[in-house]
Amino acid sequence: MKPKDFITTVQRKVAFTAVGPSAVRGQGKGVLRTSQDFCSQIALGRVSKSSAKAYQLWLDHQTELLLEVLPIKNRPWGAARKAINLFLRDALYNKYLSRQFKLRSVEPWLEIPLDSAVAKGLNSRDHRGELPRWPGLKRLRPDISEAFQVFASKRATVKGVARVHLDMYLWLGNR
């Protein structure tokens, strides 16, 4: 039998390990801790599992909520989205959170966490010029992110995995 606060504790641990210092480096003072705290409190039971569109609206809302609490003047949409996507990926990979909140059902909709390394990896596979220029995490906008997500989905289909898992392949490819 697990203690009553076990799942809450696991979620907090996953939030702090998924969103590490390198994930939001250079984004501003307080962004790391605020992002970790925010992710540790996301109501995973409320993740929309009804459709890809509903999930996307939920994710957009979570991104806006995180942006509202960041302790900096600029609104680094890319950093906020990356933090949430890193957390959701690692929550999926954690058997306790994944089982408790039925996260396997949203696996096909999870985004690949974007950063310069992922962008570089995707760009190296872009032989038709489909991707826009990578603006950097601080200047990443939703439309540019969407272009990278669509491209990542195509690459993931070829690999036979959900796009969220491409991060592992691209990360290992940069080592």
pLDDT truncated to tens, each residue of the chain (175 aa)? 678 899 999 999 999 999 999 999 888 899 999 999 999 999 999 998 889 999 999 999 999 999 999 998 888 999 999 999 999 999 999 999 999 999 999 999 999 999 999 999 999 998 999 999 999 999 999 999 999 999 999 999 999 999 999 998 887 776 6
DSSP-derived secondary structure for 121-153 = HHHTT-SS--SPPP--GGG--HHHHHHHHHHHH
What residues contact residue 103 under an 8 Å CB cut-off, 6+ apart? Answer: 44, 47, 88, 91, 92, 97
The residue among 122, 111, 51 whose CA lies nearest residue 82 is 111
Q: Round to whole Å and give the CA distance between 24 and 43.
A: 22
Judge if pTM exceeds 0.85: yes
3-class state of residue 173 by DSSP: helix
Domain boundaries, the chain: 6-107, 116-173
3-class state of residue 114 by DSSP: coil
